[in-house]
Chains A and B, each alone.
Chain A
Amino acid sequence: MADPVLFAADNAHESASGVTEARPARYALMAVAFVFLGIFLVLPLVLVFIQASSKGLDFFLSTLAEPDTVSAIRLTLLVAVIAVPLNLVFGVCMAWAIAKFEFKGKAFLTTLVDLPFSVSPVISGLVYVLLFGAQSLLGPWLKAHGITILFAVPGIVLATVFVTFPFVARELIPLMQEQGTKDEEAAISLGANGWQTFWYVTLPNIKWGLLYGVLLCNARAMGEFGAVSVVSGHIRGQTNTMPLHVEILYNDYNAAGAFAVASLLAGLALVTLALKTVLEMRYGAEIAATRGH
C-alpha cells in the first residue's frame, strides 16, 4: 500500500515544480529507472550472496576461516584503520584552509583535492612504484636503510590514502564555506584558543558532514582494488587485501570461495549505504536548521 503521507508530499512537490508530464510518461520513466537499477545493481548484489552460499553455510564459514582469508581481512582492516584517520585529519585541515582562509593558490589547491578522483587508480599505484621502486631515485636509499614500502603494508596504506583522500575534504569544503567564519570569530573574541575553537565550535558544526565523509572514505579504503593491486605484490597471506583476495580465489576457479569473501565486501557496502541513508536524513535536517538559523 502506498503511504498516504508520502503521496501528499508528492503532490505538493509536483505543483511546486510544475511537472506537467502525463501519468503514463511518469510511470514509464520510473519503470526505466527501476529496471535499470534492478539489472545493474540489485541483481548482481543478490547473485553475490547466492553464489557465496551455493556450497552451503559450512563451506562459506570454512572459506572465511582460511588463514589466507583471515590475513586478507586483517590487512584490509589495518589499512582502513590507518588510512581513514589520516584522511580524516588531512581532510579537515584541507577543508579548513580552503573554506576559512583567503590565500594565493587556493583555486589550485581545490582542484588538487579532486585529483585522486580524476586519475585512474592504476596510475595512482604506478606513481608509487615510480617513486619507491628499485629503479627509482629513492629506491637505493630506501634499500640501504632497510625500509620496504613497495609490496608491503606501507605501500598499500600510501596508495589507499591517496585514493581515498578527497572524500572527507570534498564533503566538508562546501559545508564549511557555507557556515563561514562568524562562529569561529565569536569564539576567539570570547577568549577561546585555536584548539578550543575547533573542538567546541567548528567540530560540532561539521560533525554530521564529517561522519558522512568518513563513512564513504572507509568504504572506499576497504574496497580499493586498482591502486592497491599495483603496489601490493599479491603475496598470499601477507600483502593481499580482501578485494585482491577475491580476485585470486576467482582465478583459482574457486568461485564459491571468491563470492564468500566478496559477500563480506558487499555486506560492508550495504551497511555503508544504510548508515549513509540514516546520516542523510539526520544531516539533511541539520543543514535545514543551519539555513533557518
Chain B
Amino acid sequence: MEVRVANVRKEFDTFAALHDVSLDIRSGELIALLGPSGSGKTTLLRLIAGLEQPTVGKIFFGEDDASERTIRERNVGFVFQHYALFRHMTVADNVGFGLKVRPGATRPPASEIRRRASELLDLVQLSGLEKRYPAQLSGGQRQRVALARAMAIEPKVLLLDEPFGALDAQVRRELRRWLREIHDATGHTTVFVTHDQEEALELADRVVVMSQGKIEQVGTADEVYDTPNSPFVYGFIGESSSLPVKVEDDQLWIADRSIGLSAQGAPSGKATLFFRPHDVELLDGCSGCIAGTVAASRRVAGTRRVELEIGGHRQRVEIELPVDHPAAQKSRLAFRPRRWKVFPDTAG
C-alpha cells in the first residue's frame, strides 16, 4: 500500500508540530523517520495512523483519502513505544485481540483466531509463550508480541513508534536484524520512528530526516550520509566537522588564505564548510590547505582523533587519523577534506 502525505500541517493549540510536510512512501518500503526529539517524527507517524488529525493537508492510502477515515477504518498496525500490551490478557489473547473485536460477519471463529495467533507467534519466534502474561516477558519479547498483535489484523501499513527505544543495546541490534527479516518475509509497507541514526541507516530502505517540524531530506542511507543537503543533516547523520569559511571568486577562504577547495556555484559571502573527520587527506606542504596546531589528541577505539586549532581565530576542528599514523606526533598538521560540502550562512 502506497502512502502519500500531502502538505500536512499539524498544530497543537498554538504550537506547530509539523509545517507543510509532504512525503511519498512506496508500497512495500521500509522507511525510517529520523530526527531529534521535538522534530515532529512521532506526530507524523500518529497522523498517518489516524491517532491525530492534520490541521491542514491530506493523507492518502493508495488512491483513497485516508484523512476522511478514522483509525479503525484505516486498518493500520501500530506498535507503541512502550508496547501498550493488554496486561490482563495472555500473549495469545493480545495477539488475537484485533480479530476478536471484528464485527460478527467478518470475525473468524475462536479456533481460527487461536490458530492465527500461534502462527504469528511462530513468525516472531515466541511459540510456546501463548499462555504467559506480558508482565512475565522480557522487554524484547514484549516488543515482538506487540508486533505480532499489530500484524494479526493484516494491516495495510505497519507503523512503529521507537520500536527499540526501551531495550538495551544488544537486544536492539538483534531485533533490528529480525525486523528486517520479518519485513522482507511479509512485505508490509513499514514506517518506523527512531532517534537512533545507526538504527535508521542500517534498517531502512529510505530515511526521512526531520528537524523542527520539517523534513530536511529523504533518501537512502548512502544518500543522506554521502550527500547531505543541509547543515542539519550533515551535523545529525554521522560524525562531522565544520569550519566557518568565506566564499570569494568561487574559492573557499579561511581568513586570507585560500584552502584550495573550489566552491563552484556557491554564493559569495560567509559560509560553513562541512566534512567527515575521517575523510581527509594529510598534506606535507601547505599551499592551499587547512593547517592548524594540534590542540588535543585522543585515542578512540581504532582511530586517533586530533583536534586542530585553525588560524588565529582559535577555531577548533576535529579530524581522524589511523592510530599509528606518524603525523599524530607532529604539533602542526595540514590537511584537505576529500569530500566536503559548503553551505552559505543564512543568518547574516
A-side interface residues toward B, CB under 8 Å?
182-183, 185-193, 196, 200-201, 204-205, 289-290, 292-293
Q: Is B220 an interface residue (CB 8 A)?
A: no
Cβ–Cβ contact A182 & B82, under 8 A: yes
Partner of A187, one of B75, B77, B87, B101: B101
Contact pattern, B 81-118, Cβ under 8 Å of A = 1, otherwise 0: 01011111000000001100110000000000000000
Contact pattern, B 149-185, Cβ under 8 Å of A = 1, otherwise 0: 1101100000000000000000000000000000000
Q: Which B residues lie within 8 Å of A205 (CB)?
A: 87-88
Cβ–Cβ contact B97 & A183, under 8 A: no
Alpha-carbon distance between A190 and B42 when the two chains are bound, in angstroms: 19
Cβ–Cβ contact A193 & B80, under 8 A: no
Give the bracket for the number of chain B residues in contact with chain A: 20 to 34
Cβ–Cβ contact A185 & B101, under 8 A: no
Given contacts A185-B78, A190-B150, A204-B88, 10 further A-B contacts (CB under 8 A): A183-B84, A185-B80, A187-B97, A188-B72, A190-B98, A190-B152, A191-B101, A192-B101, A196-B101, A200-B86
Cβ–Cβ contact B78 & A186, under 8 A: yes
The 6 residue pairs across chains A and B that have the minimum distance between CB atoms: A190-B98, A182-B84, A186-B84, A192-B101, A189-B78, A204-B88
Smallest CB-CB separation from B98: which chain A residue? A190
Alpha-carbon distance between A289 and B133 when the two chains are bound, in angstroms: 11
Q: Is B134 an interface residue (CB 8 A)?
A: yes
Q: Which A residues lie within 8 Å of B49 (CB)?
A: 189
Decide: A191 near B76, CB < 8 A? Known: A200-B86, A290-B87: no
Q: Which B residues lie within 8 Å of A182 (CB)?
A: 80, 82, 84
Shortest CB distance A128–B (Å)? 40
Cβ–Cβ contact A190 & B153, under 8 A: yes
Cβ–Cβ contact B88 & A188, under 8 A: no
Smallest CB-CB separation from A196: which chain B residue? B101
Decide: A191 near B78, CB < 8 A? Known: A196-B101, A205-B88: no
Q: Which of B72, B75, B78, B135 has the most CB of A within 10 A?
A: B72
Q: Which B residues lie within 8 Å of A292 (CB)?
A: 135
Q: Which of B84, B97, B150 has the most CB of A within 10 A?
A: B84
Shortest CB distance A176–B (Å)? 15
Alpha-carbon distance between A196 and B78 when the two chains are bound, in angstroms: 18
Smallest CB-CB separation from A207: which chain B residue? B88
Q: Is B261 an interface residue (CB 8 A)?
A: no
Cβ–Cβ contact A189 & B77, under 8 A: yes
Partner of A191, one of B51, B80, B88, B153: B153
Decide: A193 near B101, CB < 8 A? Known: A185-B84, A186-B84, A188-B71: yes
